[in-house]
């Protein structure tokens, strides 16, 4: 589940990713709420435009504090954030029971759709060791400044160092060429149950480092 800007905007001076902690939850929640405001899956989960920003902020802050800061690797810049799951923690690639319970309270009557979507996505998860990009988003106001690209490159470098692939699901078709620019290929489509939108599963093979 990730949001990026177009490839030509990624070649500007790069912001520096820094580790994100639970103390950053409120700021990261606000950033990702803006990043995912027009995302088809998030609009399906949060159909009320009047409450979407608040709901998304709580949603992403909860994912950070309950799930990914505990079991994964989270990074941020001043205008973007990313949540990653490393090899060996693949069972944490989807929200656990504790996280689902809190997210269900945030989602209200959309909670059953969310739970079904999580289960559907999990069924298509890869079995090989890999890094998983769970969330990546940048504030649209900072588009073109390289925030999302810096976070993506940081994670890809770790995967390349370990010699393992990277997986993600994109919830917006317009983002597919962006990820293809970074070496990802589409594996297939997952239509979420209950009339939900489509996710595109993508994989990037490990790449040799320059000079290696």
Answer whether residue 113 is part of any domain. yes
Identify whether 1 is part of a domain.
no
Mean pLDDT of 87-108: 88
Q: The domain that contains 19 carries what CATH number?
A: 3.40.630.30
Provide the domain count of the chain. 1
Residue 63 parent element (H or E)? none
Give me the domain span that covers residue 151.
7-204
The neighbouring-strand residues paired with 168 are: 133, 202
Higher-confidence residue of 49 and 9: namely 49
Structural domain contains residue 188: yes
Give the pairing of strands 73-76 and 131-138: unpaired
- The 8-class DSSP code of residue 7 comes to G
Q: Is residue 210 part of a domain?
A: no
Whether residue 199 contacts residue 41, with contact meaning beta carbons closer than 8 Å, is answered with yes
Contact 189, 173 (CB under 8 A): no
Instruction: Judge whether residue 9 has pLDDT over 60.
Output: no
Q: What is the pLDDT of residues 132-178, one digit of tens each?
A: 999 999 999 998 899 999 999 999 999 999 999 999 999 999 999 99
């Amino acid at each position: 589940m990730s949001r990026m800007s177009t490839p030509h905007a990624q070649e500007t001076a790069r912001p520096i990713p820094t580790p994100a902690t639970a103390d950053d939850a409120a700021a990261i929640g606000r950033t990702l709420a803006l990043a995912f405001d027009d995302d088809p899956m998030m609009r399906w989960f949060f159909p009320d435009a009047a409450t979407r920003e608040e709901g998304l902020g709580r949603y992403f802050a909860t994912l950070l504090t309950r799930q990914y800061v505990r079991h994964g690797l989270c990074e941020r810049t001043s205008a973007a954030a990313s949540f990653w799951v490393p090899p060996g923690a693949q069972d944490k690639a989807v929200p656990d029971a504790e996280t689902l319970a809190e997210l269900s309270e945030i989602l209200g009557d959309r909670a059953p759709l969310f739970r079904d979507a999580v289960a559907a996505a999990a069924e298509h998860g890869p079995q090989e060791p890999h890094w998983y990009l769970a969330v990546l988003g940048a504030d649209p106001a900072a588009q073109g400044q390289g925030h999302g690209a810096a976070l993506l490159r940081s994670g890809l470098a770790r995967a390349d160092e370990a010699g393992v692939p990277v997986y993600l699901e994109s919830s917006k078709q317009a983002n597919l060429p962006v990820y293809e620019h970074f070496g990802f290929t589409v594996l297939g489509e997952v239509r979420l149950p209950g009339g939900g939108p489509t996710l595109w599963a993508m994989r990037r093979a490990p790449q040799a480092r320059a000079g290696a």
